[in-house]
Amino acid sequence: MTERTAALPLTIAAHLRDASGLTTAHFNGKVDRPRLYAAPLSPEALQLLCERVVPDLADPLLVAAWDFSIGMDTETIHDRSQNGLHGVLRQLPTRAMTGANWTGRTQSWTEAPEQYGALQFHDDDMLDCGWSPDLQTTIPAEWRSGFHALRLRATRPDGVAVESYVPFFVRAPIGKPRALVAVVAATATFLAYANQALRLDQTHAESMLEGLMVLSLDDVYLQEHRELGLSTYDTHSDGSGWCYSGAGRPILNMRPRGNTFNYVNDTHLLDWLEAQGIEYDVVTDEDIHHHGAQVLSPYACVITVSHPEYFSERMLNAFAAYQQAGGRHMYLGGNGFYWRIGWHPTRPHTMEIRRGMQGTRTWEGEPGENGLSFTGEPSGLWRANGRAPQRLVGVGFDAQVFDRSASYRRLPDSHDPNAAFVFEGIGADETIGDFGLRGNGAAGLEIDRADASLGSPPALLLLATADRIGYGGLPSPEEFRTTHRGLTGEQNARVRADMTLFPTANGGAVFTTGSIAWVCSLSHNGYENNVSRITGNVLRRFMDPTPIPWAERGDSA
């Protein structure tokens, strides 16, 4: 060891190049409860030490005994020796991973933390670029709440002008609404998909999408610059899944004119609200996680948009409390309230997901590693955790359909007097949503259906359904127990998008459309269409503070 290297801190799973903090030679794999002993040791003594499961903390030769199972929800690694040589994690390698002593008798690190003393390192771990700011700005207090973006313009050396956007959200102060309506920005979902490279990596992407792959400039850039970090749908270079995603890095697919999913889909609703002259506030789901139902309670109506897929327990509880207190909730999307996630307790804008072996997934975690390191809770599907989406909003994810989108047909419940306001100006047999920007229909991409066995409430009105999905409608894995013919939307009546309405306590109500593609149909024909009309009918009634009467259902129900 030279004098220069002796001055550098000890680094695990990488080579610390110099005092700047830059590292090389990054290790892929698990490191489990490492110890450091003073030399020299004979081979026999070394063998005995390696065989000792629990280190002798009083051993004078013991310099450090790091136990990664302590402080699981922190970025600190703890030394159990008398020297207290604690460390700090960089880029957050994956915690709550089974160690060599895992017995398989538990599936949760909280039950036997001593069996989860491993960290899994990846040479492409990336949570925060740690960049110094080049530009800072203060948001004026009078700015409207909404989706905003900083536009960046430059001229390339060849003289071509280019531009890009850095998105951010402006919300009204918590508890001080400026509008009757709140639109929830699904930041957990945006982070889960941040810098998704899955289309480039998976071998069956074109088969799933029923079309040739079209790469954007962002796709090409991300393929060449994976040091930006990928999404929780992707795998690390060693094949293990990304569990963490943070906002401290450029995110190429969460901005205007970017990837036509999630963020961009949601902007179609904002465009429609602007065109209709309806004022709204934007709140983020991370705000809801930290502050609970008080974020939602001032609003007459709360809208979750195209794809609110990732939810923490606090977020779910806040929506349930809002609905039961008389709030009106419009869920205008599909595949919502699906995955159980955790937010880091101290690092802002950082979420965690464990895929497990359930649901529509692109990778599977190892046995015993489905517990969230941030919270200790089990991850996976909310359905597998006893809170299927149907219990909250009446519908839940049942299928993907990427080849085309379908239209809705009215059902007998749509003629129930309780639903009369929904269909004002809509013909009795009128086809709904046979148009749109995503697949030429309002029911597509990912779709939800009602199901009493999963918790859809008894008073729910099944207003309309899109059940002619076709062979491209592929049910999610939890929807069938065995494989057989007739699973797809061509023959399977369970593959459908349902429009529903049901009452909650204290004059509240929930309206759903069961489709990601719904909001992408709002602007058709200059906003003069039945998707726009139904959405407007419901929103204006939900904004009206007068109680929504709910008569006993008649024969039409």
Task: Tell me whether residue 372 is in a domain.
Answer: yes
Amino acid identity, position 41: L
Q: Is there a domain that residue 149 lies in? A: no
Q: Which residues of 412-444 are buried (b: 16+ CB within 10 A; e: fewer)?
A: ebbbbebbeebbeebeeeeebbbbbbbbbbbbb
Domain boundary among the residues 101, 121, 141 is at 121
Are 222 and 252 contacting, i.e. CB atoms less than 8 angstroms apart? yes
Q: Are residues 532 and 418 part of one domain?
A: yes
C-alpha 545/C-alpha 181 separation (Å) is 12
| DSSP 8-state symbol, 371 | B
Using omega within 30 degrees of 0 as the cis cutoff, is the peptide bond preceding 40 cis? yes
Cβ–Cβ under 8 Å, residues 355 and 380: yes
List helix spans (H) across 377-498: 389-393
pLDDT for the residue 91 = 94
In-domain check, residue 17: no
Q: What is the extent of the structural domain holding 106?
A: 28-121
Are residue 311 and residue 387 in the same domain, yes or no?
A: yes
CB count in 10 Å sphere of residue 133: 5
| Residue in the structure block whose two tokens are 């569990």 | 243
Same domain (yes/no): 185, 112: no
- Does 100 fall in a domain? yes
In a domain, 130, yes or no: no
CA distance 547 to 421: 13
Q: Are residues 401 and 473 in the same domain?
A: yes
Residues 108 and 185 in one domain: no
Nearest Cα residue to 256 out of 162, 163, 349, 189: 163
Domain contains 385: yes
Residues 234 and 369 in one domain: yes
**Residue where one domain finishes, among candidates 121, 153, 168:** 121
pLDDT of residue 554: 47
Is residue 549 included in any domain, yes or no?
Answer: no
Instruction: Give the span between the Cα atoms of 488 and 470, in whole angstroms.
Output: 7
Q: Are residues 72 and 218 in the same domain?
A: no
Q: What is the number of domains present in the chain?
A: 2
Which CB contacts under 8 angstroms, 24+ apart, belong to 197-200?
A: 197/222, 197/223, 197/226, 197/230, 197/231, 197/234, 198/231, 198/233, 198/234, 198/362
Q: Which residue has the tokens 């989706």?
A: 147
pLDDT for the residue 487? 86
pLDDT score of 555: 41
- Together in a domain, 181 and 54: no
In tens digits, the chain (557 residues) has pLDDT values of 444 555 788 999 999 988 888 899 999 999 999 999 887 778 887 777 777 778 888 888 889 999 999 999 999 999 999 999 999 999 999 999 999 999 999 999 999 999 999 999 999 999 999 888 888 889 998 999 999 999 999 998 999 998 889 999 999 888 899 999 999 999 999 999 999 988 778 767 777 777 777 888 888 888 899 999 999 999 999 999 999 999 999 999 998 888 788 999 999 999 999 999 999 999 999 999 999 999 999 999 999 999 999 999 999 999 999 999 999 999 999 999 999 999 999 999 999 999 988 888 888 899 999 999 999 999 999 999 999 999 999 999 999 999 999 999 999 999 999 999 999 999 999 999 999 999 999 999 999 999 999 999 999 999 999 999 998 888 898 988 888 888 888 888 899 999 999 999 999 999 999 999 999 999 999 999 999 999 999 999 999 999 888 877 644 33
Nearest by Cα to 302 from 504, 529, 520, 516: 504
Choosing from 121, 150, 168, the residue where a domain stops is 121
- Would 339 be classed as within a structural domain? yes
pTM value is 0.94
Q: Are residues 404 and 273 part of one domain?
A: yes
CATH number for the domain that contains residue 382: 3.40.50.880
Alpha-carbon span 78 to 137, nearest angstrom? 38
CA atoms within 13 A on the CB side of 276: 22
Same domain, 294 and 198: yes
With beta carbons less than 8 A apart as the criterion, state whether 398 and 336 touch.
Answer: no
CA distance 149 to 166: 5
- Claim to verify: residue 225 and residue 103 sit in the same structural domain: no
Whether 330 and 423 map to the same domain: the answer is yes
